[in-house]
Amino acid sequence: MTKSNTSKSIPLAEITLRKYEKPYEMPLRDLVKKICLSVGLLQPGDSRDVIVDVLGVLLKEGEVAAENVKGKVVDFRQKHKLGMKGIAESNIRRQLKRLKDLFLVEKNGNNYRISEGEKLVKLFEEKIEQFYLKGIVDRVKEYFDHLDNFKK
C-alpha cells in the first residue's frame, strides 16, 4: 500500500471581504455593522450581532477593562433597544478574540482597546491588506503557478 501525500484541507488563514454601497451619514452602530459585514465578522442576516456592539463599545470608550466589557455591551444594546442575545461572558470573550485575530483589537494589561490606539483604516491597510491578505494572495498564486507548471 502506498502512502498518500495529501494535504489536509484546513486553511491556515482565511478572510471574507464584501463590498457594500459607499458609506454615508449613519449612526455609529450601523457603520460598525457594515465594517463587521464587510470583513466577514458578521454574516448577512445574522440575528446574533453582539460583535457589532463589542467593537462599537471599544471605538466609543477607547479602552475598557476586561471585566467591564460585558456591562458596557449590555448598556450599548439597551441604548439601541436591542435584545440581549449573545451577551454571555463566554461569547463576549469569543468576539474579542475574533477581533484580536483580525488585528483590530488588542489586550493592554487587563484592558481591551483598538490596536495601538490606531485609526481603523490604518490597521486595515497595514495588518489586513498588506500582511494578512497579501499572504493569502501570495499562497493562492503559488498554487496557480504550481498548476501552470504541472506536468501531465
The residue whose grid cell reads 503559488 is 142
> CB under 8 Å to 124, separation ≥6 — which residues?
39
| Residue 5 pLDDT level (bands cut at 50, 70, 90) | low
Rounded mean pLDDT, 121-127 = 93
* Predicted pLDDT of residue 152: 65
* Predicted pLDDT of residue 150: 85
Q: How do residues 17-59 score in pLDDT, each as one tens digit? A: 999 999 889 999 999 999 999 999 999 988 788 999 999 999 9
Set of cell numbers at residue 135: 499572504
Query: What is the overall mean pLDDT for the chain?
Result: 89
| Residue 136 pLDDT level (bands cut at 50, 70, 90) | very high
